[in-house]
Amino acid sequence: DAKTTQPPSMDCAEGRAANLPCNHSTISGNEYVYWYRQIHSQGPQYIIHGLKNNETNEMASLIITEDRKSSTLILPHATLRDTAVYYCIVRVREASGTYKYIFGTGTRLKVLA
């Protein structure tokens, strides 16, 4: 199964861009990368997803390397409310046609005032 590797923690100054890396070197060609975040012990919240191309939405940008072995989530102007644990996830297609989700251990981002 594809697995993801993330740094355990990062700090970022308020107003600056936060760049969160993820390594998924065993990802297969049709497996999507998702990013979610979790504030305290609440349920994780969706941020963004991608397959091959870079993606941007109102929350963040996702940069996927050409070989798809790694990606970076970018929060362009981090605020204190972005302090959370960020999870990089690979959605794996099983032989039966079902999908399961492989979460990384997450990066704890602390935004500093």
Partner 1 sequence: EAQVTQNPRYLITVTGKKLTVTCSQNMNHEYMSWYRQDPGLGLRQIYYSMNVEVTDKGDVPEGYKVSRKEKRNFPLILESPSPNQTSLYFCASSLWLAGGVDTQYFGPGTRLTVL
CA distance 14 to 71: 22
Question: Among 12-20, 21-29, 40-48, 56-64, which window interacts with partner 1 (CB under 8 A)?
Answer: 40-48
Residue with tokens 């409310």: 81
CA distance 73 to 83: 14
Of positions 20, 37, 62, 106, contacts partner 1 by CB under 8 A? 106
Number of neighbouring beta carbons within 10 Å of residue 72: 16
Nearest partner of 111 among 20, 46, 6, 15, judged by Cα: 15
Does 109 interact with partner 1 (rule: CB under 8 A)? no
Of positions 12, 18, 24, 44, contacts partner 1 by CB under 8 A? 44
Binding mask 66-95 for partner 1 (x = CB under 8 A): ---------------------x------x-
CA distance 11 to 52: 28
Of positions 2, 10, 74, 102, contacts partner 1 by CB under 8 A? 102
Kindly list the residues in this chain that would bind partner 1 in the complex (CB under 8 A): 32, 36, 41-46, 49, 87, 94, 96, 98-106
